[in-house]
Amino acid sequence: MVSKRDVVRCSNMSQAPYSVNGKRCKLVGCGSAVPAITFSNDELAQIADTNDEWISSRTGIRNRRILTGNESLTGLAVEAAKKALAMANVEADDVDLILLCSSSPDDLFGGGPQVQKLLGCTRFPPAYDIRAACSGFLLGLVSASCHIQGGGFKNVLVIGADCLSRYVDWTDRKTCILFGDAAGAILVQSCNGDEDGLISFDLHSDGDGLRYLNAGIIQTETNFAVGVDGSTLGFSPTNTSISDMQMNGQELFRFVDKAVPQTIRSSLAKADLRVSDIDWLLVHQANKRIIDRIAANLEFPKDKVICNIENYGNTSAASIPLALDEAVRSGKVKEGEIIMTAGFGAGLTWGSAIVRWG
């Protein structure tokens, strides 16, 4: 009798993208980190026109973690990365590449190199940021695979980390109830073809959807249009800032309800797998209603859906690795099990991947 793992291996060898060096990749370590402060719905109701029942019934969220004081997003990313390395039994100096998937780094120019520094990677591996909002982790996972298959990298850290609490209007109950801060990390490692952990994927973007979810640049003209000597400068220098997040939740819900099941089915088809071959469903933790709708559309068992949104809210690029880390460390997800996962968010960006843990 052919086992599920044998099916996956066979389909993977026929469907996987071309590899220059014959190597594939596997997911061998995970870790996560969250801020110390828990911010409950009842506490949120003290500053916004809302209450616990209104929030939890519409989103499934009861608590979220918020960065405060001396905490930083970079610090969370480093903590999550260290835990992933420890699980994989890999030293920091054995890391060949760091991908920080974040749309809210501590610095305008990104945080990847700071993660490299604080991890103590003395061989100075490349480190850079990927900005794809809530789809960022999936983009990072696929990018890690490409670096391994095409560039000969052996150990790639993929970190999803976001602090969207910095960009919400805390009086706007449409957005402030949703978001929390966190980081999650996965160590992706080179392996032989029959161990491949990234079985298939499907990625998309549509810039037309920016109007549904954005946090744009605000420019304010200064009064320096005339120089100190009375001459005209020819331009008006501006001060810039980033606006609070703007979101059309109804349009996003309609989009996700259609696009996410489609992309998951596409990844399944590429892997020559059926929904019944899958052990777990893990989609971006945006809203419990959305997660339930996706599972129902796919006719996937509710008890096989990984969901931790109640305690953390929408943590953007961190949500998938954070939920996976909890599921692995609790013993829910076991080595060799197959997970279909999907991300979706601002951009608009969306996609899916079929992965095997361990």
Q: Which residues have C-beta within 8 Å of that of residue 165, sequence separation ≥ 6?
A: 64, 66, 67, 179, 180, 181
Q: How far is CA 90 from CA 114, 155, 189, 192, in A?
A: 19, 8, 10, 18
At residue 340, the 3 state secondary structure works out as strand
Is the bond leading into 298 cis (omega within 30 degrees of zero)?
Answer: no
Q: Please tell me the number of Cα atoms within 13 Å of 23 on its side-chain side.
A: 19
Half-sphere exposure of 14 (CA within 13 A, CB side): 10
**Integer Cα distance of 340 and 354 in angstroms:** 5
Residue 314 is among the residues annotated as catalytic for this protein: yes
Say if residue 293 is exposed, middle or buried (CB neighbours under 10 Å; 0-12, 13-18, 19+).
middle
| 318 close to 32: Cβ distance less than 8 angstroms | yes
Strands 127-130 and 97-101: parallel
Dig out the tokens for 97 from the structure: 């590449």
- Torsions phi, psi for 96 (to 5 deg): -100, -20
- Catalytic residue chosen out of the listed positions 101, 147, 163, 284: 284
What separation in angstroms does the CA of 18 have from each of 12, 99, 203, 231, 267? 11, 22, 17, 61, 17
Q: How many CB atoms lie within 10 A of CB 272?
A: 16
Length of the chain equals 358
CA–CA separation, 313 and 35 (whole Å): 13
Query: Active site residue: 134, 155, 163, 176, which one?
Result: 134
Residue 147 appears among annotated catalytic residues = no
User: Among this protein's residues, is 101 annotated catalytic?
Assistant: no
* Alpha helix (H) residue ranges in 47-90: 52-59, 73-88
Neighbours of 92 (CB within 10 A): 19
Q: Which residues are catalytic?
A: 134, 284, 314
